[in-house]
Amino acid sequence: MPRYFAAVAAFAIATVNASAAEPLRFKWHVGQVQTYKVTQQTVIQETTLDAQTEKPVVSEARTNLALTRQWTVKEVDAGGVATLVMQITAVRNEFKKPDGTTDLRDSSNPEQAKEMADYLNKPVVVVRVDGQGKLVDVKEVKSGSAARLNAELPFRFVLPDSGPAVGQTWERAFSYKTGADDNYDFIQKYECKSLKDGLATIGVTTGLKAPAKTAGEQVPLVPMFWSGDVYFNALAGKFHAARLTTKVELMNHLGDGTKFVYQSTYNEDAADK
């Protein structure tokens, strides 16, 4: 009898160790629907020089965006790559213009919902994503661009080849094109900060691989410089939440005395029961 219990105990320990050694992965299931609520607040301030007086003039624009989106798993291949379809089910966007006026679009307003009919409650993105969260292919995109999806991944991060363990770091490289010949290389770095109660907390920082030559050419790139934390539900094998920010100040982007400031916060939370 003691030998029997010893064998069972040894088997249990081996099973636990093998499970612990398995890397974290997204777990895709055909028909699975994942719902997320997103809020993003963005402030853009720009200082230019008056053409006549050459005195600085500051303008400011603010955007408050809230939306709900759903990812539906349509197919999973033998390699664990899932075909995902995303649709937006609700959106509220408040844009405060530099002239002080406000433009509000809210899908809860029936008339405004009609104006959003082209993209509301309809597939707007179809992608293939593997078990590490890597974007394998963009099959269709009706809102934004494939390049932007590669920069800002569907689930905001990728998992490492093994692990992660607390303190482990890894990274991914991506490119973003702002014009016909303007291609910029980025590095996104990750660090596993904690593994607790079935939740992995992963730190994210994003930057250019090489500094831009001028402040002006950085202006279209600043929305990519996200940093903060993302959270992965290790038990369910799904993205759980994100808390990201970016703030960039560019001096003399249009010549001496000018300034461009971009600041944004991005929060995303799983809304599934």
pLDDT tens per residue, range 97-152: 999 899 999 999 999 999 999 889 999 999 999 999 999 999 999 877 888 899 99
Whole-number pLDDT of residue 19: 40
Whole-model pTM?
Answer: 0.88
Q: Which residues pair with 243 in a beta bridge?
A: 229, 267
Q: Cα–Cα–Cα angle for 253, 258, 261, nearest 5°? A: 70
> What SS3 class is residue 113?
helix
Q: What is the largest CA-CA distance in the chain?
A: 96
Whole-number pLDDT of residue 144: 73
The Cα 245–Cα 266 span in angstroms is 6
Is 61 within 8 Å of 97 (Cβ atoms)?
A: yes
pLDDT confidence bin for 10, thresholds 50/70/90: very low
The Cα 45–Cα 98 span in angstroms is 9
Q: For residue 232, which of 190, 263, 173 has the smallest C-alpha distance?
A: 190
Which domains are present in the chain? 24-270 (2.30.230)
The Cα 93–Cα 111 span in angstroms is 15
Count other Cβ atoms within 10 Å, centred on residue 226.
Answer: 21
